[in-house]
Structure formats: structure tokens, C-alpha cells
Amino acid sequence: MNTMLAGRLRLDTRTFAVEEVPIPVPGPGEVLVEVRAAGVCLSDVHLIDGSLSPFFLTDAVTEAGAVTLGHEVAGVVHTLGPDVKGGWTPGQRVVLQAGEACGDCGGCLRRMTCHRPLTRGLDYDGGWAQYTIAREGTLLPIPDELPFDQAAIIPDAVSTPYAAIVGTGAVRPAQAVGIWGAGGLGAHAVRLARMVGAAPIIA
């Protein structure tokens, strides 16, 4: 059996360890990604210290009693599972969405907002590993000039403040913006607020 190293959190004891585990095999519509960079989010620290728990555990994680952390992941396509529709090719550079719709709740069945969205690295195995599985719909190609370590943090540290500023807050030029906490997300919020023309920006 081919194995890999993965950073795994035992959910009962909240003990974290790098373990040797089988390299996962992509199922229908899934892609095996060779991880090149993965971010460490404060949520990961909170998962390890027990102040945060997974929201909608998948059966696989429940059975294993442990989850591979990491919801900020970039890498290259390694192996395609059966019935992958997109034109993905091995070696293609990709970033992975930080989660996915569950696919079987009332919202998903009506093709509306998922009621129990699954978070990568919390509810199912994430990218603190040499390889990780992603549904093909959660892959996005990235340009050659974008380094993997910068691409990896887009799915949370950049996209979360982007949604707050551009979506929820709908900030317009010359509007004042206050940012509480210039940490991993807040630092990007300052840059994003500047890009949309906010002024002044108080952080």
C-alpha cells in the first residue's frame, strides 16, 4: 500500500500528530492533488486546543476518529478519478476551495444554498498532507506566476475578507471602513478595502 505523511487531529483527545496513512484513492468526480503548500489558520489552532469543533462530520472522519487538517491548500493535479468531466491534466497547478456543498440536504436537492456545508480539513480530510482529495468542482486553476504559498491562502485568508468587503459590506469608494483585528484575515481586509477605494481605513 502506498502511504503518505499527514497532519492528523484525533477528535476525542484533541491530540495532533504527523502520521503515515494510505494515499487516498479518488472516487468518481474526484481528483487526487499533490499538495505543494497549505496554510495554517487560527481555526486550526482552535481545533487543536478544543475551542472549535467540526460542524458536519462526514462518516469517514467519524469512523476514523481523526481528521487531516488544512483548509487552505494549493498543489498540482496528480491522478483523476473515474467520471471526471473537466479537462484537468496531471501537473496542472490548482488551488482548492475551502469546502463544498454536502450534496444531499434539502437546499442542495433544490439546487439552492446548502444547509450543512462541509469544510475541508474539518468535516473531511484536508491538505496538511502530501496528497489530498478534491471534488473536481472545488478545483480552480492558478497561473504559473502565482507561487503556491500565496495561492494556498486565497480560499480563506483572502476570500473571507473579500466576501465581507465586496459582498456583505458592499463597500464603495470613499466610504470609511473599520477593521477589528489585523491578523491573517484582517491584514488582507486592509489591502482589499484599499483596492475598492475605501477611505479612511481604520485598523
Positions that interact with Zn ion (CB under 5 A): 41, 43, 101-102, 105, 108, 114, 156
Nearer to Zn ion, 52 or 80 (CB): 52
Q: Smallest gap, in angstroms, from Cβ of residue 197 to Zn ion?
A: 27
Contact partners, residue 193, CB within 8 Å, separation at least 6? 165, 171, 177, 179, 201
Question: Residue 34 or 156: which CB sits closer to Zn ion?
Answer: 156
Report the alpha-carbon distance of residue 198 to residue 203 in Å, rounded: 12
* Cα dist from 193 to 42, 153, 170, 190, whole Å: 22, 18, 10, 5
Nearer to Zn ion, 83 or 104 (CB): 104
From CA 28, how far away is CA 198, in angstroms rounded? 45
Min CB(86)–Zn ion separation in Å:
21
Judge contact between 74 and 13, C-beta under 8 A.
no
Minimum Å distance from CB 154 to Zn ion?
12
Bridge-based pairing state of the strands 201-202 and 177-178: parallel
* CB of 103 or CB of 197, closer to Zn ion: 103
